[in-house]
């Protein structure tokens, strides 16, 4: 019995180490690492800045808004001095999004610009939406909408009913950064 308990403990330790040492890069880790690089623009927006334009909306829309926890924005503006960085970082994001846990919802190709929309979760209960847009003249941006059991059909309806809290410091900062992108 003692040998069995020691063996069981060893198996549990190996499983924990295997899970903890997952070598697949994650978008969360990429986001955190990139925030430390001054070339990147990053902003975390709390769900509290998302407000409805009016109170006359369905309960589905109200409950959908409650499923959104936060929005992360990360961008790399392309310049003459960071072309290699842009190319390598863009490939890193593409590689992360090739992980099977990210399911593609939509993809747009507009010449030199591309946008992909991916998600984690079930089709009717999404936990994260990732929008990745790149333009070979301007740069790229990654937007993560993090929530719990978000319904994609209701999220689309919600976007039409939203107003942004214009007094939010994070929103003002994001607006200022976006206006500087040429």
Residue 35: which residues within 8 A CB-CB, separation 6 or more? 42, 74
Cβ proximity of 73 and 174 under 8 Å: yes
Within 10 angstroms of residue 88's Cβ, the number of other Cβ atoms is 10
Within 10 angstroms of residue 63's Cβ, the number of other Cβ atoms is 13
Both tokens assigned to 163 = 């107003």
Query: pLDDT tens digits, residue range 170-182?
Result: 555 555 544 444 4
The SS3 assignment for 127 reads strand
Cβ proximity of 127 and 146 under 8 Å: yes
C-alpha to C-alpha distance for 80 and 91, rounded to whole angstroms: 18
Cβ proximity of 144 and 31 under 8 Å: yes
Q: What is the mean pLDDT of residues 72-100?
A: 95
Query: pLDDT tens digits, residue range 100-157?
Result: 999 998 899 988 889 998 999 988 889 999 999 999 999 999 999 899 888 877 776 7
In order, the DSSP letters of 151-182 are -HHHHHHHHHHEEE-TT-HHHHHHHHHHHH--
C-alpha to C-alpha distance for 90 and 67, rounded to whole angstroms: 29
Both tokens assigned to 153 = 């059909």
Provide the whole-model pTM. Answer: 0.73
CA angle, corner 179, sides to 173 and 182, nearest 5? 135
Within 10 angstroms of residue 148's Cβ, the number of other Cβ atoms is 13
Residue 26: which residues within 8 A CB-CB, separation 6 or more? 96
Query: pLDDT tens digits, residue range 6-64?
Result: 444 444 444 344 344 445 689 999 999 999 999 999 988 887 777 777 777 788 878 88
């Amino acid at each position: 019995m003692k040998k069995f308990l020691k063996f069981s403990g060893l198996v549990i330790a190996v499983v924990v180490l295997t899970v903890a040492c997952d070598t697949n890069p994650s978008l969360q880790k990429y986001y955190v690492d990139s925030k430390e690089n001054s070339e990147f623009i990053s902003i975390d927006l709390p769900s509290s800045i998302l407000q409805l334009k009016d109170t006359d909306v369905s309960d589905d829309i109200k409950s959908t808004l409650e499923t959104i926890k936060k929005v992360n924005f990360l961008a790399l503006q392309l310049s003459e001095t960071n072309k290699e960085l842009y190319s390598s970082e863009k490939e890193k994001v593409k590689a992360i999004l090739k992980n099977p846990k990210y399911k593609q919802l939509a993809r747009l190709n507009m010449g030199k610009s591309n946008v992909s929309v991916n998600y984690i979760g079930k089709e009717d209960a999404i936990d994260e939406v990732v929008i990745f847009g790149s333009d070979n003249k301007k740069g790229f941006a990654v937007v993560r909408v993090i929530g719990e059991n978000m319904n994609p059909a209701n999220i689309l309806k919600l976007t039409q009913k939203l107003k942004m809290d214009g007094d939010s410091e994070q929103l003002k900062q994001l607006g200022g950064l976006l206006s500087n992108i040429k």
